[in-house]
Amino acid sequence: MSHTILAVDDSASMRQMVTHVLKSAGYRTLEAEDGEDALRVARLHRVDAVITDHNMPRMDGLSLVRRLRSMEEYARTPIMLLTTESSAEMKQKGREAGASGWMVKPFDPTRLVEMFRKILG
């Protein structure tokens, strides 16, 4: 059975790139355009992992991570941040929010797939 990954980004082209890479590696994907939309999708469909941007309208990535972590079904789900933010301070805030990892844009497609293979088995 293939794992389902939720890709969250306010940029449609970035969502398309991420989902293309993940689908090519055999994963099922769902998409959301911001944190609010991602919560809606996560409530409707159980996902095995989440990859989210940080800087988005309505709800940013760190807020999304906190909200997902507060839901019993997502307390241990891998949640990765994929963002242009790369400071040590932001990475620490990500860890404190409950993010499983951090990847900086632009991303390496091979590294993205390797990361999910490692965390999803």
Identify the domain containing residue 115 by its residue range.
Answer: 4-120
pTM above 0.85, yes or no: yes
- Structural domain count, the chain: 1
Six token digits for residue 52: 């989210």
Determine the Cα–Cα distance for residues 87 and 23; give it in Å rounded to an integer.
Answer: 30
pLDDT reading at 33 higher than 70: yes
The CATH number of the domain holding residue 60 is 3.40.50.2300
* Contact (CB, 8 A) for 28 and 119: no
| pLDDT score, position 17 | 96
In which band, very low, low, confident or very high, does the pLDDT at 1 lie, cut at 50, 70 and 90?
A: low
Give the pLDDT confidence of 79-116 residue by residue, as tens digits: 999 989 888 998 899 999 999 999 999 999 999 999 99
Confidence band for 22, pLDDT divided at 50, 70 and 90: very high
Percentage of the chain with pLDDT > 70? 99
Instruction: List, as one string, the DSSP characters of 70-117.
Output: TSGGGSSS-EEEEES---HHHHHHHHHHT-SEEEESSP-HHHHHHHHH
